[in-house]
Amino acid sequence: MLLRSTALLCALAATAIARGDDVRQIQLGNLNPGSRFEISTTDRVYRGEMVDPTTGEARLAASRNGVQFSQPQTVFLLGATQGRQAEAGGLMLVKMNQLQTGMCVELGLGSLEESDRCITEPVRALHID
């Protein structure tokens, strides 16, 4: 009986590892090139693959329905933010090199130029494969 219980627990653990992990925060520098992740916001699902954790460069595809995704594009994951704060004179605090549930993500679309930056809706869930 103990052997069966041990085998069952090992099988459950292996399934959890194979499935990946839902997390509250991702430190981009802790990911390896080729790491896959998913970001679910209030209006989109983003599937990505890390290219360079030191710069935040990733290949990201987006979907409004979680089924049909765009072609992956190069983006730079700049960090977690709550967006521009009126009480702080329009300044924006960005937690660099991390993603966090409850906060938005600042993205550089194809480059790090200020004109190419956008902010997602708040993150509901983060998943690392």
Q: Which domain holds residue 110?
A: 21-128
pLDDT at 20: 66
Q: How many domains does the chain have?
A: 1
Residue 25 domain-assigned?
A: yes
pLDDT digits (tens, 9 = 90+) for 19-38: 468 899 999 999 999 999 99
- Whether residue 18 is predicted with pLDDT greater than 50 in this model: the reply is no
- The sign of the CA dihedral 71, 122, 20, 51 is positive
pLDDT at 21: 82
Q: Give me the phi and psi of 102, to 5 degrees please.
A: 85, -10
pLDDT at 14: 38
* Closest to 105 in 3D by CA, of 32, 37, 51: 37
pLDDT digits (tens, 9 = 90+) for 72-122: 999 999 999 986 665 555 666 788 999 999 999 999 999 999 899 999 999
Residue 11 domain-assigned?
A: no
How big is the chain by its Cα radius of gyration, in Å? Answer: 17
pLDDT band at 65 (very low <50, low <70, confident <90, very high): very high
pLDDT at 84: 64
SS3 9: helix
pLDDT at 43: 95
